[in-house]
Amino acid sequence: MTDANSQELHRVLTALTLNRQPGWHFPGHFFDVSFDELNPGNASLSILPDRHCELADGQSHMAALSILADLAMSAAMRGLTDFAMRMATVTMSLQFTGASRRGLLQARGHFDGFVQGPSGPRDQGLCRAEIHAGNALVCTVTGSFLAMRRQTGAPMLPRKREESAAVEALSPEALTEEERVLYERAREALKPGPDSFIERFWDLRPQRDGQGATCRLDNGMHVSNRVGHTQGGITLALAALTANAALGEQWQLAGISSWYVRPGTGTGLQARATVMHQGSYTAVVDVDVTDDKGETVLRALSNHTSLR
């Protein structure tokens, strides 16, 4: 397959084109997240999967689900605050039904209000969401976000799918040096080999060892949010995939709860998953995601169900 007719590379080039306009980030453009409906306190978003974000079995990559969860909840909260204001993910928990992640992913986010203090509402908001694939409920989500009212930038640009579809993708010759690095990474991921394109593109391929599993995620434009930190949904996906790898193929992820400690910065993030309990039917895994300095970026606990 040549660059010209590769769906994966066309998606990358289109995302790079959209990313030149301030207000959002490459991962959101790469997944072509559509803001289908925005109301104060409620938001509906969706991702229409294709080869660029699907696994070998046709299911959407875990990162598509976790990014959609993150964005659906934060969009619902932004509807009552400010789309130019920065927001930081504080916590996020996903509970999975076991339904397949095939087909259109649709998320509906809800904002439940700000945490109340003795003198009134604080800046931390509580949210929840449900994600469906086709007509099946895939997972329920809860989360909390910090409204960073003193830190604003270019307003977030919530697009619908048909708007991004009308954009003419950049040619490879028109790319900047930074964009070229990302594009070459995508070309490398298209070469024949094990795993799907997105697994090779982001290199989210945990390795199991005697203590559990580890996985390194290189930082860069391909995984960054609007301010250059690792996007929160991708950080959660890193933890979830590493947790699952620690147990092996006979176990299925049933839920994960995460706490965001500091921004994901530096050259990359490292996840270490340690099995805390492994019984006949259920298991619990502890995941520590750290930066180059060894400082915790995210801490997560996951629960799993046996497939045997």
- CATH of 1-194 given 2.60.40.1120, 3.30.420.40, 3.10.129.10, 3.30.60.50: 3.10.129.10
Mean pLDDT for 31-47 is 95
Q: Is the pLDDT of residue 299 over 60?
A: yes
Mean pLDDT for 216-244 is 95
Amino acid at 271: A
Q: Identify the CATH number of the domain defined by range 203-308.
A: 3.10.129.10
What contacts 120, CB < 8 A, 6 or more positions away?
A: none
Structure-block tokens of residue 168: 């003419």
Mean pLDDT for 107-132 is 90
pLDDT in tens, 242-261: 999 999 999 999 999 999 99
Q: Kindly give the residue spans of alpha helices, DSSP state H, lying in the chain.
A: 7-19, 26-30, 62-78, 161-165, 177-189, 197-202, 232-247
What is the structure's pLDDT at 272? 98
Mean pLDDT for 124-140 is 96
Structure-block tokens of residue 236: 């959660």
φ, ψ for residue 218, nearest 5 deg:
-75, 130
Structure-block tokens of residue 16: 């790079």
Question: Average pLDDT over the chain, rounded to whole?
Answer: 92
- Among 113-122, 152-161, 241-250, the minimum mean pLDDT is found in 152-161
| 269 bridge partner residues | 217
Q: What is the percent of the chain with per-residue pLDDT over 70, rounded to a whole number? A: 95
Closest C-alpha to 14, from 164, 231, 133, 216: 164
Rounded to two decimals, the pTM is 0.94
Specify the domain boundaries for CATH 3.10.129.10 within the chain. 1-194, 203-308
Q: Can you give the three-state secondary structure of 245-295, one letter per residue?
A: HHHCCCEEEEEEEEEECCCCCCCEEEEEEEEEEECCCEEEEEEEEECCCCC
